[in-house]
Amino acid sequence: MIDFHCHLDLYPDPGASAARCRDSGDYVLSVTTTPRAWRGTLKLAADAPRVRTALGFHPQLAHERHAELPLFEALVGEARYVGEIGLDGGPEYRAHLGVQMRCFERILTACGRAGGRVMTIHSRGAADEVLDALEQHPEAGISVLHWFSGTRKQLDRAVALGCWFSVGPAMVRGMKGRQLLASMPRNRVLTETDGPFARGVDGPLMPGEVGLAVAACGAVWRIDPREAQNQLDLNLRTIGGLADASLVASETRAPSVMASTRSAARSPGK
Ligand SMILES: [Zn+2]
């Protein structure tokens, strides 16, 4: 299974969550919410070869943690993946959208300077603002919009910009989420849990617990769930290759490879 957005460090027993990933063999992108959490969360996955740890700066924390931006900029050269980053325009965070946008700008600039990164992006209530920023920073890399909840028009714009999407059980439970999934190019879709924030019937989704999302992909693509999983596996290999290429680019200080691979990602999908 592929869980491309999971907060391993925020489960009540992070060590047990990491061990679960190691034993299951699931591919997990372990996202962080502050740059200070990155090194410790990286250690959690030290013996779990299929877990990658993303350097994050959560928009809901921007107004309290903006002093950590220089740390983000110092660490981004070491991180293959970035996230959770983005903007939150929900009622509780809308007042802080100004500081969030300044932080997001700096993060995208830092990713671009590093040669481009694969980024997992939060866009709740702020899809237009997120897409505006991504449009202005194509050098920042490949964007994976996680749990996208915008309109169909915003989705079409994201697709045209080359965005990818990660889709979880909580998103596809509702009709709107399934309709959005049906409109995403299937070669740019990954699965996620967003655990422990997202919940299943028995409580928080555990890392890798994406079965309902795989089934939903099969249903909207009108193929067997095993075939849907094959497509998702192929997508993961594609984006993993892009992430590896970005790190090589930053190590050799070559110009951004992500800018050229991005046009490939933009080609119309199925
Ligand atoms: Zn999240």
Distance 169 CA to ligand 1 centre (A): 13
22 touches 47 (CB < 8 A): yes
**What are the residues whose beta carbons fall under 8 Å from the beta carbon of 181, sequence distance 6 or more?**
165, 167, 171, 172, 189, 216, 217, 220
Average pLDDT over residues 73-81: 96
Name the pairing type of β-strands 81-86 and 51-53.
Answer: unpaired
- Tokens (6 digits) for 43: 């250690």
Distance 254 CA to ligand 1 centre (A): 31
Query: Can you list the domains of the chain with their CATH numbers?
Result: 2-266 (3.20.20.140)
Distance 196 CA to ligand 1 centre (A): 9
- Tokens (6 digits) for 36: 């200070």
Distance 23 CA to ligand 1 centre (A): 23
For the beta carbon of residue 218, count every other beta carbon within 10 angstroms: 17
Distance 253 CA to ligand 1 centre (A): 31
CA 61 → CA 80, 181, 266, distances in Å?
A: 22, 28, 31
Residue 135 is predicted with a pLDDT of 98
Residue 248 is predicted with a pLDDT of 63
**Residues 110-123: pLDDT tens digits?**
999 999 999 999 99
Average pLDDT over residues 241-265: 57
Q: Distance between CA atoms of 174 and 59, rounded to whole angstroms?
A: 25
Q: Distance between CA atoms of 252 and 254, rounded to whole angstroms?
A: 5
Q: Distance between CA atoms of 247 and 18, rounded to whole angstroms?
A: 24
Residue 247 is predicted with a pLDDT of 64
Q: Distance between CA atoms of 219 and 211, rounded to whole angstroms?
A: 12
**Residues 127-153: pLDDT tens digits?**
999 999 999 999 999 999 999 999 999
Distance 252 CA to ligand 1 centre (A): 31
Q: Distance between CA atoms of 105 and 53, rounded to whole angstroms?
A: 22
